Structure formats: C-alpha cells, structure tokens
Structure 1
C-alpha cells in the first residue's frame, strides 16, 4: 500500500473521534492527526475495489454516518476495506459506539491499536458499565488498558465478581487504578481470582483489598499463602493474630517469606522471643519494612550502648517504635542535639528514654517546647530534671503547653515553678480535666490545693468525693 493511502486510512479513524463541529480530544485535532508509523501495520492488505452495486443497505447507512462526520468518499472506502465490519454496522449501533468512545475520551492512538472496538458487540457490556459507573473516577491510562489490552468479556466478568465479593461500586475505580489491569482483569482465570478473594476474606477482605488493591496482583499459591502462613506461624498458629497484623498493614503481604525470615532472625539474634516480636509487629507492622543494615542494626546498637538490656529494648520499642524508621539525618540527629544541649549525657538510659519520647513529635515542636520553658524562666537544668521525671513533656504540643501554663498562672494564681514538682500537670487535658476539676474544687479547697491530688486521682474517685 502507498504511504498516501495509509495516511488516508489514519485520517478515517481520526475523523471518527474528531468531527469538524466538535474536536473532542484537542482543539487542533485534524483528520490527519495520527502518524503513519502508528497506523501502518493495520493497512498492509490487498485492496478490493468497491462499487456502488456492492454496497448493501447497511453499508449505505454507515456511509451516511461517516459522511456526516466529515469523511470523504475515498476515506470511507478505505475504512470499509480495512475494517469491513463497519460497513455492515447499523446506524444506531455505530452512532452509539462513537458517542460512547467520545464520552470516555478514548484516544485515537488507542483506537488505532484496537479498531474492532468500533463495532464489536463484545464491548457493549463493558462500555455501558464504565459509562454509567466509572466515568471521571478511573484513570485514563487504566481505562484505555482495560479496553485495549484485555478481553472485554473477561473484564466485565471480573468486575462483577469484585462487586459480588464486597468491593463497593464507588470504590471499584480505586481498585482498577491500583492493580495490574492486564493481569487481574484478563491474565488470571476467573476461578483463580475468585479463589484469591475467598482466601482473603479470612483475613479482612474486602477492607484489606481497598487499602492495598495491589494484593490482587499476587499469586495465591506461590505468594499469598506462603506469606500469610509465615505470619500465622509467627503468631504460634493464631490465625486471628495474623489477620489483625494484615488488617493493620495490608502492604505487609508485599514482602517475601525470605524477607520475613531475615528480619525474624535479626530480632531473635538480639535475644527477643517470637512472642515479643509479634507484639512489636502488632504495635508497629512496619518493623518488617525497615532496612536491617541501614537502620535496625545501628539503632539497636545505640540502645545497647545506652545500657538497655534485651527486655528494656523490647519495652522501649513498644513505646517508641518509630525510632526504628525515622530518618537519622533529618530527624533523630537533630533531636539528639537538643537533648544533649539541655544536659542529657551520652550513652545513658535517660538519653535513650528521652529520645524515645521525642520520636512522637517534630523537630520544630521540640525546639518550640524548649524555647517556651526558657521564656517562662526555666533553665536547661530545670527542663532536664522535669523531663527525667516526666519525659512526655518534651513531646507535647507547645501551643497546648503554653495555654496550660497561662491557666496555671493567671486563673489558678499558682507559681509556674510548681511544675518542677508535678510536671505531669502539663499532660492533662485543659478543658476536660484541669479546668473542670479546678472549678469543682476551688470553692471547697481554695486556690492552694495540691495539683497532684486534684488531677491524678481517677475520674471515678473524684466523682465519689464530690457526692
């Protein structure tokens, strides 16, 4: 075929999607917009002459529609030769299909890769469903892959299966946007996908699928089952514990069994039991995602240098698990600098405990907390004593701290220095605890009441005393 004829065929597809009165995909869309190289493979054929006597009534209707879209006689003839099924399409079906493709913004390039989408009835259920339920939600790239790279019957069958197994219709686009479309909607047998969905129901599906749709990309026999079995074994056979872990972090299933074993061996090598490792994982499942060499080993070594034994390391990590994953350069090193400046000594338990506390706050907030105490007349030595007694004061929001200190001074008419003896005052909620109890007690006890007795007693005991 000549280059000119191939380019004319290219123009026919372009015109189907870009009629002169409404250029849908580009304000500069033209009949010749597709390149010869993109379309050329579809047009190496031996032409058959078309004469008026051989055009059927259906072809006449199709010709009329294509004329209305702005195609010339020669372009229509060439399109009929390359895709003869269009010649036999009814006016209604061809109009409907073109309208659908326009509304879905399917590109000319996509159509050129699969021209049968213009006429094949197999696409009807899939296109109808997408047009009614997924327009505006599904990513254009994923939409085109669904239409161009999969069997439409397979795709609609798997869509209905996902809906039947609990995926909400409004979340379906999220799932499609997040998975390997070719594999999940075409590559897997429908039976295989159903087995995956049924298996995952035991561990929290469909919620875990909605949180991590890429789980559906995994092979049931070689990936999902071995990985989940490892977690069940770690939980001493308790499937419910493994399910809890998976629900907390569905992405944990992305790790291989060898990866799990490597991390398990590391933790057992420092003396932790499998039960302790499971407890740590349930508190912070991301322990399996932390690099052993870059983070785990040097940080456990730091805690060991601070004289923490195995049991103390376990308790530390239960309270401050993000210590394992935070950036050293951008986070932990700066916090260590603040702690050293206010008086903490290197390689001490007090330093480790304080660092564990400040993992729960930002570097900026820690700086503001220190500045706030200094502005109220406390020295670094005072702050050191208070934080050793109540390490949490270093992690509280500085704005909240300031409000409590102002209430202590202005409303309760107390000296801010009383915080040295009872820094835990700063940990109670201002409105629900401090103000409420103060208002309840100030008439009977006066303004000089013990802060410790006012706040530390349980709500039940406090209410009994008020009766």
Structure 2
C-alpha cells in the first residue's frame, strides 16, 4: 500500500463537467437544438402533466430546489455569486423546464403521490445540466436566461472549425459504438458483459449519452476490474448497474492510484471498512473525491465540535456529506440549525443527513409548518434537539397527516414538544392502533408511553390503569 502514489486531485467540481467559461460569444443553434438533445427526445413527452398532479406547495418547493441545484452547478463551473444570482433571476422559464423534466423522469412516483428528497432531485437534475454544458459550453448562461428562445447568432458559422467534431457527433458515435453489432452479429464484449450484470442496452446508451468516454472503456482494462473491485468489497451484483449509472466515470479511475488510496485515506479517518458496500451504494462518487475535498469536510466537522473518534462514524453513515460544499451548503445549514437553538455537533452525530437538506425546499417549510401551528421557535429547537431526524420527513407524506390525526387525540401540543419522536412512528401501523386501544380501555396514557413501549409493556400499562380505575370506582 505504501507504494501507491498519492491521490490525484479530483475536486468535486469535476463531477459537474469541468471549467465553465462565461465568455459572451454566441453561436448558431437551430431552434430544436435549444430544447436540448439531452432532453425528452427519448420519451416524446413534454412533462407538462406533472403540473396537474403536484400540489402547489410541493411544486414551489421543487422550483426552489431546482434553483439551488442550478446555482450550485453554475458556481462549480466558475461563475461568481453575482453572475449566478443574476442568471437565476432571469431563469423562471428554465426552472419550470427543469421541474417538468424531474416530473417526466419520475412520472410513476409523482402519480403515486410521493415526494422526492433533496438528494434525489439533485441526482435527477445534475446529470442533465452536465449534458447541457457539454452540448452548449460557454453559452449555457444565455441558454438559461433566454429559454425557450435560442441565442442570437453573432459569430459566422465559418468560425466554427469543421476539423473539430461537435459534442453531438461524439455522442452519436459513442452511442453507435455500444449499439452496433460485430461481423458475427454480436454486441461488443464490454456491452455483453454489462448486460449480463443486469443492465439493458437502453441504460447503457443512456450512460453513454451522458458520458461518452464510457463507450471506449475496455472490458479487461477498465470495466471488469472495477466491477470485480466492487464485488470484492461486498457490493451486491444487483447494485452494480445502479452504481455505474450514477457514476460511470469511476470506471475510468485507476484502482491503485485513485480508488484504493481514497479508501485508505477514509479508513484512516475512521470509516468502517466493513461498510464499504453500503457506503458505495449510497454515494458512489465518494470514491472520486480528492483528498483536499475530504479534508475540507473533516475540518468543518472538527470546527462544529465533532471529536476525532466520531468523524469516521459520520462519514460512514452519511458519505454524501463529503460531496457538499462547505461554504455553500454545510456552513449555512449549520448556522440555520444554530439559529433554532440546536446543538449542531449533536445533530451531526445523530442525524448527519440533516445537513444535506435544502434550505428553501426542506428546512424553512418545516419550520414555517410548526410556527403556523402555534409552536414557538424555542419549542421547535427543543423538538429538533430531542429528535434530530425531525426535519428529514416529508411535509406531505409524514408531518401533515400525523399532525391532522394528532388534532383528534386528547393531547395538548406540548406533548409533541416533550415527545417529537411521535412523527417517527407509522401512522397506520402504530399510532392509530395504539391510540384506539387507549380509547377503548377508557384510560389516560401519556403520548410517549402510548408509542414507545413494547407491546407487552403497553398491555401491562393499560391493565394497570384499568385496575386502578376499577378500584377507585369500587371504593367510591
């Protein structure tokens, strides 16, 4: 292991497609190109259906999250905060376009009434933005600001050198490589190997459109060693297609120079080496993070009061935290929780995924939800401190229905301040059946006992209280 070379610098910005020039030069683009070959070409659906099935509250939250994703993406390409902010202010139609794309990609989930977490929204939109950047390069800002109108032509077409193939032609060539059959009618060996792993040809083509280099990776030199590397770590074969879809670039990294040194560095920080399968399944891009990026996250954790022995536990439970920008994401989120009176070090140790939530789409709406229902800021801070996972739950699927049922229960809302873990129990399988038993027995039991006791202890508590009531009645 000592012979391994130092980890190459693979900053988080590389995930977003490299440097971003903000030169204001303009090129000729047919109108249909501006609607993006990366778009809905495969489906033929415009995504407008989603606006009819998503509630106004959810839609507003998704727009705010789309703005946050676009802002982060532009900053990672080198734009200043001022330029990014100005672009966002002019991007209403493009934001609607991103939300429609999100609804199209996950149509079945939205029709089922389910909401998406912040990370899932990012996973859906960032690859799309990467593809747009590859297609349009230094006029992406104009594309965003002028959507759906194409940028105005200023530069003569002759200035575009015909000796350099366009990104689109590269993409078509790459897709052709994974689609074409050989002289014997067989697909390329690497494609057949991926199909044996459980990937269908359409998924392979989708990966190739997003990351053209994937089509040129050899079976023996790149793909197979990486897959065997994952299998040796205990990753299930069924999870490998998902990992390759999320992070096809990992196949191109050297095991000895990149992946293994990164793992060793993280293990030295305390990451549980027995949990690599789960870690990679949750966040495969963690293997492509540079040592500098990891150190910046660790320094932030130290700054928040996390002890060295807890660092590895946090990174093991929530590897995504490494991918977040310290200044743009982690620090603002930590300050927000502090403003509510929450001990951030405790929050990070108990529920590190909370710092990955969107300020506009998750944190502020949940705070407003409780304020609108009469809770004071101090009480909200107490609730978070007592149940650090509180803000992770969906408003629509969790907090609202459970609050509405709570209003039918014979408890004051102060019970929720004492026992906010109420929101962590299943409404149908735990809360309703347990409370029905309490009402049936005609007794009074505090909310914490109703939900937290085991079935045996719960029954004992009910019987004990019923005997007391019977004794008092007999005595009277």
Give the TM-score normalised by structure 1. 0.50
Distance in 2 between residues matched to 1:459 and 1:305, nearest whole Å? 43
CA contact (8 A) 2:297 2:326 kept: no
- Mark the CA change 1:371 to 1:183 in structure 2 (over 3 Å): closer, same or farther: closer
CA contact (8 A) 1:338 1:367 kept: no
Partner in structure 1 of residue 283 of structure 2: 284
Go from structure 1 to structure 2 and tell me whether the alpha carbon gap of 1:354 and 1:221 turns closer, same or farther (over 3 Å shift). closer
Q: Does 1:264 align with 2:263?
A: yes
Kindly provide the CA deviation profile for residues 286-335 of structure 1, in whole angstroms up to 9, marking residues without a partner as x. Answer: 31244543x42211222233444565333323433332223445543332
For residues 276 and 310 of structure 2, the distance between their equivalents in structure 1, rounded to whole angstroms, comes to: 14
Q: 419, 426, 431: which is aligned to 1:429?
A: 426
Q: Which one has a bigger Cα radius of gyration?
A: 1
Residue in 2 aligned with 1:332? 330
Instruction: Give 1:48-59 correspondences, 5 Å limit.
Output: none
Q: 1:181-235, CA deviations, whole angstroms, 9 ceiling, x for partnerless residues? A: 45345697769844324433553343863763565442112222332343345x1
Counterpart in the other structure of 2:227: 228
- 1:384 paired with 2:363, answer no
**Equivalent residue for 2:204, pick from 209, 215, 239:** 209
SS of corresponding position for 2:389: helix
Counterpart Cα distance in 1 of 2:425 and 2:411:
17
* CA offset digits 1:59-110 (Å, max 9, x no partner): xxxxxxxxxxxxxxxxxxxxxxxxxxxxxxxxxxxxxxxxxxxxxxxxxxxx
Equivalent of 1:412 in 409, 412, 424: 409
Q: Decide whether aligned partners of structure 1 residues 465 and 262 sit closer, same or farther in structure 2, where only a CA change above 3 A counts.
A: same
CA distance in 1: counterparts of 2:195 and 2:174, whole angstroms: 21
2:390 touches 2:423 (CA, 8 Å); kept in 1? Answer: yes
- 2:198 aligns to what SS in structure 1? coil
| 1:367 corresponds to which of 351, 364, 367 | 364
Find the residue that maps to 2:411 and give its secondary structure. Answer: coil
Matches of 1:313 and 1:178, distance apart in 2: 45
Pairs within 5 Å for 1:182-261: 182-184=176-178, 193-201=187-195, 203-206=197-200, 209=204, 212-213=207-208, 215-233=214-232, 235=233, 241=235, 243-251=237-245, 252-255=247-250, 256-257=253-254, 258-261=257-260
8 Å contact 2:190–2:219 — kept in the other structure? yes
Query: Are residue 456 (structure 1) and residue 452 (structure 2) matched?
Result: yes
Structure 1 CA distance, aligned partners of 2:392 and 2:324? Answer: 15
> What is residue 438 of structure 1 aligned with on the other side?
435
Detail structure 1 runs of 4+ shifted over 6 Å in the superposition: 176-179, 459-467
427 and 184 in structure 1: CA distance in 2 versus 1, 3 angstrom threshold:
closer
| 1:184–1:216 contact (8 Å) kept in structure 2 | yes
- Partner secondary structure for residue 272 of structure 1: coil
1:218 touches 1:224 (CA, 8 Å); kept in 2?
yes
- Structure-2 change in CA distance of 1:406 and 1:186 (3 Å): closer
> Equivalents in 1 of 2:309, 2:206: separation in Å?
34
1:401 alignment partner, one of 399, 402, 406: 399
Distance 2:206 2:314 in 1: 29
Assess if the C-alpha contact under 8 Å between 2:321 and 2:353 holds in 1. no
In structure 2, do the counterparts of structure 1 residues 224 and 206 end up closer, same or farther at CA, with 3 Å as the change threshold?
A: same
The answer to whether the 8 A contact 2:271-2:316 is kept is no
2-side partners of 1:284 and 1:178: how far apart? 29
Deviations 1:5-52 (A, max 9, x none): xxxxxxxxxxxxxxxxxxxxxxxxxxxxxxxxxxxxxxxxxxxxxxxx
Is 2:350–2:388's contact at 8 Å kept on the other side of the alignment?
yes
Indicate conservation of the 8 Å contact 1:369/1:394, yes or no: yes
Q: Following the alignment from structure 2 to structure 1, what is the Cα–Cα distance between the partners of residues 171 and 451?
A: 51
Deviations 1:110-164 (A, max 9, x none): xxxxxxxxxxxxxxxxxxxxxxxxxxxxxxxxxxxxxxxxxxxxxxxxxxxxxxx
1:212 partner SS: helix
CA distance in 2, matches of 1:262, 1:288: 9
Match of 1:317 in 2: 315
Instruction: Compute the RMSD of aligned alpha carbons.
Output: 3.9
Q: Give the 3 Å change call, closer, same or farther, for CA 177–395 of structure 1 in structure 2.
A: same
Name whichever of 425-434 and 351-360 sits farther off. Answer: 351-360
User: RCO (CA 8 Å, sep 6+): is it higher in 1 or 2?
Assistant: 2
Unaligned runs of 5+ in 1: 1-175
Partner Cα separation in structure 2 for residue 375 and residue 186 of structure 1: 59
- How far did residue 274 of structure 1 move? 3.6
